[in-house]
Structure 1
Amino acid sequence: MGLFSKLKEGLTKTRQGFVAKIETLVSGGKKIDEELYEEIEELLIQADVGVNTAVELVEDLRKAVKERKVDDAAELRNILKELIADIMGEEQAGLSLRSKPAVIVVVGVNGVGKTTTIGKLAHNFREEGRKVLLAAGDTFRAAAIDQLQIWAGRVGCDIIKHSEGADTAAVVFDAIQAAKARDIDVLIVDTAGRLHTKANLMEELKKLFRVISRELPDSPDEVLLVLDATTGQNAISQAKIFGEASGVTGIVLTKLDGTAKGGVVIGIKTELNIPVKYVGVGEKIDDLREFDPKEFVEALFGD
């Protein structure tokens, strides 16, 4: 299945819960009035676009209707699509891997699919012919090291690991030395699934970055925050806190295929201004795809 088809299929629940309801709402010669605008705003909020974004979109919708002298409510669907497309933009963010070894630090709370994301990222790089090394920096969770080891074996790359409970910064230090010695192209660092309420764990994260920047002054190249699309607005709250603590450069949105809350992508763009770089649209190893905002809008609206 092609990337667009996969994305379109993955957004089915969001489309049914949002776009299909909008289409029903504006059909059948409906009058364009305040009640209609309020109903559209409510549907946007239900799709987890976010309250502020929903209010702004409906305000822009009102202006467009007035300026274009629109009197057919059915036209509101396409105007809304235009407005969302304007928000999302057209350019893919992509990864910026300047160094060798390039260092990607992956952060996020437990249960969002962080380790799986690392495995799939490693697979993508291996498919491009790059040498990849994984660093098992999540030493808090018993299964995390084993899980990453399985992924390393699956995609055919090396892993640097210490025992459970070890100092994460020490793991990363050893991984950087190994990456230099083995002529590695990309080092991907796993981190503990920190609860954003725990200040001590955030301090641990800062220590990790100090070690990286000391050993490789221009690194990390990317700090990717993994968010679970099914958590909707809670994902945006996590992103704000992690952004402050770790200088997030991009977002990986997982489980987009299993949720009706895909509108959170729009909220992330407007509220955080942190680019979504990858989306997870399935369980398979090649189902982590680079995010294309233009394709996202087309797939969302089923066009």
Structure 2
Amino acid sequence: MFPVVKYDESQKKVVLMEDQFAEMKQHLKTFQKARLKVLITLGDWWNVYPLTMSPKMFSSVARNENNVRNAFVKELVTIVKNYNFDGINFRWTHPGSPYGAQDGFLQDKVNFVTLLKSFASALKPDGLLVTYECTAIKSIINTGIDIPKVAAALDYILIYATNYQTGSYITTGLITPSKEVKSTLEMFKSQVDDPGKIILAFKPEVEVLTLANPNKEAKIGSNIIGEKKDFTCWIEIMRRIYVTEKNNWVITKGTNESQTFACNGDKWTSFDDINAIKYRMELVQKLRLGGVQIMATFADDIFNELGCGPAPFLRTINEILRGYNDCILPSCP
């Protein structure tokens, strides 16, 4: 559940976001009545205007082992227990990266393990959960995340295997090629004792790039105008490609190892289609992982605008992982 708590840097303490919690309180009861686990999520993707806790704040708290870190653990655990949550999900996105902190970031790798162990000791004896949304970017993992030790302290580690085209780049490329997802999951499995702890996390995310030279036949590696990028949700671009601008896009279907991409004039995008999701769910089964987390479910085709039936992403996931026979695998997009 996000956002319901934040780290107040001026007071150096964790505080409940009372207005947000008041709005979500009834949902908490509804979810738990349905026997779902509801965790507090703490952490933001960026340092600028953090909503709950920035990477820089995480780095600072984790390395202050005396009053600051101990108080942080105590305050957050108290909120979890007092308000009947089922645990904590952390979203420290850049441990070990100078982006995440100006000072002390080289110690993040060790400090993060210590921080997670503290929460595990405080929560697990009461049957409460500790989870972590982990990046799939190998450079950050190598410098900031000790996979075996982090996983040992957690109940689940959620691998955010999406958007591999990070930073600035000058040519078109696949945002989430399946071969990269496979490589990431295999790497984690090789370092985690129990693969059931590993959760594949993803969302129907699409990045629209602007070509330097408009060309309907543009392929991977075409020059782009780097600063002209736009993230949008999956259904918005699918609506354009398959419905409102159907005759204007040239679509190149992806294989199990790649990803589908499409071009229209000076616009170029790559995206997950149902075949890509099917392949990844079969990969989760093959590797015997714990399951999947799909974020931003609103980006799915909830209202059947594409003619494949409502919520094709969710239906495909349930068909493969849960064997729901009443979910007919859609053939498009």
Alignment TM class, shorter chain as reference: 0.3 to 0.5
**TM-score normalised over the length of structure 2:** 0.35
Q: Which has the higher helix share?
A: 1
Q: More strand by proportion, 1 or 2?
A: 2
Determine which structure has greater relative contact order: mean sequence separation of CA pairs < 8 Å that are 6+ residues apart, divided by chain length: 1
> What TM-score do the two structures reach when normalised by structure 1?
0.38
